[in-house]
Amino acid sequence: MERRFEGTFQTENEVRAEIKRLISEKEYAAEELLVISDEQNSDLFKTNHLESVEIDIVDSEENGSFWEKIKETLSFGTYDSEEAHNVLEAHGVPHDIAEHHLNALTDGDIILLADTDAPKYSKLSNVNKKCNKY
């Protein structure tokens, strides 16, 4: 499943506020959102208070371009970096965007992703409602 990047946040309160906004104002479903955080923030998420949004706690030190470069260097040309994925790519974020935001995860920021087709279940607009009456 492909996902799009919604933002980085420094605290649980910031990401919680954005999740509430997306659910209440933009009509996202909690199942359409994913929070990714580094192990250094794992204590913040021991109890899930994020509107039932899935949370993935990762070890960001094992991800990213730095390790990809080391693997490629030590493999003497036999390592295929296209096969390797960082944690954001593994969750469906396009490579360029994932590489750009991986440093934020390593620095301790909290990342919020959404399904690319979210919100799936938004209400019909007034124009659509009128068209459906005929």
- For the stretch 62-94, pLDDT in tens is 555 555 555 555 666 555 555 546 888 889 999
pTM exceeds 0.75, yes or no: no
**Radius of gyration of the CA atoms of the chain, in A:** 18
For all residues of the chain together, what is the average pLDDT? 78
Highest mean pLDDT among 28-32, 49-53, 116-120: 28-32
Residue 1: is it exposed, middle or buried by C-beta count within 10 angstroms (0-12/13-18/19+)?
exposed
Rounded Cα distance, 85 and 90, in Å: 6
Rounded Cα distance, 132 and 124, in Å: 10
User: What is the pLDDT averaged over residues 102-128?
Assistant: 80
